[in-house]
Amino acid sequence: GAGKTTLLLQFNGTLRPSHGSILLEGEAVDYSRGGLLKWRQKVGLVFQNPDDQL
């Protein structure tokens, strides 16, 4: 519905926007290896099924 999963996948670098950009704390998400590491330290993914996290 609201695009929550899509947004988190884009923050994580799993899915890249086809156009436009994603801003996090006022900065565009950098999809380089170092840039993604920076954002991954700030954004976490929590699976809906707790068994998937083990």
- Domain residue extents for the chain: 4-43
CA distances from 17 to 10, 49, 52 (A): 7, 26, 26
Mean pLDDT by 10 residues, the chain (54 residues): 84 85 85 85 75 72
Task: Report pTM.
Answer: 0.53
pLDDT at 54: 67
CA distances from 43 to 7, 14 (A): 11, 13
The answer to whether the CB of 46 falls within 8 A of the CB of 39 is no
Phi, psi of 25 (to 5 degrees): 55, 40
